[in-house]
A = this chain, B = another copy of it.
Amino acid sequence: MFEEKISELSKSTPASFIRAILKTTENADVISFAGGLPNPISFPKEEIQESTNRVIEQYGSRAFQYSLTAGLRELREYIAKHLKETQGMDVTPDEIIVTTGSQQALDLIGKVLINQGDTVIMEEPAYLGAIQAFSQYRPDIKTITLHSDGMDMEKLEETLKNSNAKFIYTVPNFQNPSGLTYSAKKRETLHKLSRQYNCILVEDDPYGDLKFDGKPYGYISKKEFEGSILLGTFSKTVTPGMRIGYMIIRDPELRFRINTAKEAADLHSNVFSQYILWDYLTHNDVQEHILKIRELYRSQCNAMIAAMESAFPESVTFTRPEGGMFIWATLPKGMIALDLFERAREENVVFVPGNPFYVDGRAAGNMRLNYTNCDEKTITEGINRLGSLIRSYGN
């Protein structure tokens, strides 16, 4: 009845395929490789409970009252200190804005930077939450193929040269959906090209801490770079339920604009949870906690790869991530992931077909497989079922 009242912005917003299928697969019998859910055994429940009690006793009303749009000062100080220690980055708390999850950061970036028709550069395939958030504002999205060591840099330079792109969006570590990671050389080139063409670089790093071995990679925008926006989150290392992420924005004008857009979007993020998170981070050995998650996900990833090697035909290729949450598999030519998805759902196993990770939504022969939210036995069982379906596909 009110269809004619819907705005162009809303009509340009694709509904999330993932959230639609998550709803239909809540059944406990379904083996889900579809979501990007952390393993619940990684949630520090007892420690959060202790922190909550401490926060209510020590900070009382301040945790319940309206608060600053930029976020709890103490949390921003912790983030700045953490970035100094782990990345050698010089960031002040004033350069940080706490967001309601990284998804909000993506929406705010789209809002503040995109006029209809503006060029925006993304990877192909790209994170679908970012495609969704940016698409609302009707940009002309140019996609750059993602190779195993990062974006095609020649194509990127050509695109930067021929367009006045507002920003480049990248997930350099264990990308969603591909699981791929940028090489040191490509990070360097991306930094150089962004500066050279005066293009904002949005570096989204939800998974960087979940590197299976060794120290996390350095941020591309670690070096002084006014045009960088770095996105971080506590969703993968502490809890997604609290929806707490952050943005580091160097340029003061840009920061003011993002802050104002956040005022209009939700005044401020949940400050009760910001206090609890901050207390948790400063009272526990978080590095130790993250190490445990890394070990868990490494085992689960290895279990999935071993199962795929054994159950899938050789014509299926797939990435071997160094960390993060996803494997990206490419089906044999002619096989359509969406078809396979429908058959797999009948066998009570689900994944995300590649389509929503392509800006043009094209029918894709890829699938995104998440390994973080199932135990190893379940992973093997689910992959075996998928393997049988792939082998019998077309019969």
Selecting from A237-245, A318-326, A330-338, A374-382, the interface stretch reads: A237-245
Interface residue A269 (Cβ < 8 Å from any Cβ of B): yes
Q: Are A270 and B267 in contact (CB under 8 A)?
A: no
Complex formed: what's the CA distance from A36 to B65 in Å?
10
List chain B residues, Cβ under 8 A from A103.
263-267
List chain B residues, Cβ under 8 A from A181.
none
Selecting from A89-97, A128-136, A215-223, A383-391, the interface stretch reads: A128-136
Query: How many chain copies does the complex carry?
Result: 2
Interface residue A43 (Cβ < 8 Å from any Cβ of B): yes
Contact with B along A42-62 (1 / 0, CB 8 A): 010100110011001000110
Complex formed: what's the CA distance from A256 to B10 in Å?
10
Interface residue A178 (Cβ < 8 Å from any Cβ of B): no
- Given A240-B64, A270-B242, A272-B241, CB of A15 within 8 Å of CB of B56: no
Q: Are A263 and B15 in contact (CB under 8 A)?
A: yes
Residues 230-253 of A at the B interface (beta carbon under 8 Å)? 235, 239-243, 251, 253
Contact with B along A271-313 (1 / 0, CB 8 A): 1110000000000000000000000000000000000000000
Q: Are B65 and A45 in contact (CB under 8 A)?
A: no
Contact with B along A130-148 (1 / 0, CB 8 A): 0011001100000000000
Q: Are A115 and B7 in contact (CB under 8 A)?
A: yes
List chain B residues, Cβ under 8 A from A185.
none
- Given A40-B61, A263-B15, CB of A137 within 8 Å of CB of B272: no
CB closest chain-B residue, reference A115: B7
Interface residue A208 (Cβ < 8 Å from any Cβ of B): no
List chain B residues, Cβ under 8 A from A111.
7, 9-10, 136
List chain B residues, Cβ under 8 A from A107.
264-266
Residues 209-230 of A at the B interface (beta carbon under 8 Å)? 226-227
Q: Are B257 and A6 in contact (CB under 8 A)?
A: yes
Interface residue A364 (Cβ < 8 Å from any Cβ of B): no
Shortest 5 CB-CB contacts between residues of A and residues of B: A40-B61, A64-B239, A43-B64, A100-B266, A10-B112
A-B contact pairs, 5 of them (CB 8 A): A16-B260, A48-B56, A66-B235, A104-B265, A272-B273
